[in-house]
Amino acid sequence: MDIKQLTYFIAIVEEGNISKAAERVHIAQPHLSQQLKLMEDELNVKLVERNTRKFQITDAGRRLWYRSKQMIELMESTVKELKDFNEGLEGTLSIGIIASSGNIIFPQRICNFNKTYPKINFEIRECSTDEILELLKSGVIEIGIIRTPLNSEIYESISLPTEPMVAATNNDYHWNNKRKNICLKELVDKPLLVHRRYEKMITELCRQEGFKPRILCKIEDTRSILLLANAGMGIAIVPKDWVELIPNMNLNYKIIKETSLNTSTTIVWMKDHYLSSAAKHFLETFEV
């Protein structure tokens, strides 16, 4: 099984049809069908169930599709590494970012870096922290921009200044408007909107304060949390710098007086792994 066959198989899965896949990879349909059969014979596993009416990818086929994409992406990034012998003056830098970092710290930093290294191109993937860490492990990206906590000994990291968590809402929850802070106990029985990444930490700290939080909604997407809070659904518990992610919203916030909830944006990369010169130069911008 080789890279070309993996490319063929990706096309088969994504097109859901041998004929369309053959057109996509520019080969004859019988040849593509033969390549699929050769792969199944070599692996001794059924990758596709097909008859006159139905074309269904098996569980084994979906696993191979997922791994095939990873392998091809890794091959492409490896080729870029091997071509990167010009002290980072040329090449492509692959970065994974969480949604919030894209608005808060990223645009200006990328622009400034581009002015210094105009021949470096970027591949930027916006995804969750867990997905970014997985892409780092597989070598698809070189640098990740995530939110703490980061519980691993396999990454190097640079932490940016910490931010407190805030309770953000457009409703009046009978808080004293002159106060900038609230304590956790003031969230008792309030409908909370939390990012899934922080749910466990928030729940545990509330438990230590003697109550079980009313988590109305656990959400993966940062902007959805803010939009629901802005619509009046509940109180968003988010890092303070998230509040400005979406302009023209009517959210008011109170800082939660609990240092254990403080979080920061963190730049991460793999320990003891190759870093391109472009990546090294980019990391230097965070150490100034």
* Residues facing 126 on adjacent strands: 97
Cα angle 13, 18, 23 (rounded to 5 degrees) comes to 100
The domain total for the chain is 3
DSSP 213-235: -EEEEEES-HHHHHHHHHTTS-E
My answer on whether 47 and 19 are in the same domain is yes
Domain stop point among 53, 72, 91: 72
Q: Look at residue 242 and tell me if it is in a domain.
A: yes
Answer whether 259's CB lies under 8 Å from 98's CB.
no
pLDDT digits (tens, 9 = 90+) for 40-95: 999 999 999 877 667 789 999 999 999 999 899 888 877 776 766 556 677 889 99
The answer on pLDDT for 175 being more than 70 is no
My answer on whether 204 and 271 are in the same domain is no
| Category of 124 on φ-ψ map: left (φ > 0), alpha (ψ -120 to 50) or beta | beta
Which residues does 173 contact at the CB level (< 8 Å), separation at least 6?
190, 235
My answer on whether 214 and 274 are in the same domain is no
My answer on whether 269 and 127 are in the same domain is yes
Global pTM reads 0.61
My answer on whether 53 and 169 are in the same domain is no
Residue of 268, 28, 272 lying closest to 158 (CA atoms) = 268
Q: Which of 28-32, 122-126, 220-224 has the lowest mean pLDDT?
A: 220-224
My answer on whether 274 and 157 are in the same domain is yes
Q: Look at residue 241 and tell me if it is in a domain.
A: yes
* Confidence (pLDDT) at 78: 76
Q: Look at residue 78 and tell me if it is in a domain.
A: no
Token pair for residue 216?
Answer: 């109305």
CATH of the domain at 13: 1.10.10.10
Q: Look at residue 77 and tell me if it is in a domain.
A: no
Q: Look at residue 55 and tell me if it is in a domain.
A: yes
The answer on pLDDT for 116 being more than 70 is yes
My answer on whether 274 and 142 are in the same domain is yes
My answer on whether 272 and 157 are in the same domain is yes
Domain stop point among 15, 41, 72: 72
pLDDT digits (tens, 9 = 90+) for 135-154: 999 889 999 998 877 777 88
My answer on whether 138 and 173 are in the same domain is no
Domain stop point among 14, 42, 72: 72
Residue 52's domain spans which residues?
Answer: 3-72
Q: Look at residue 256 and tell me if it is in a domain.
A: yes
pLDDT digits (tens, 9 = 90+) for 94-107: 999 887 665 556 67
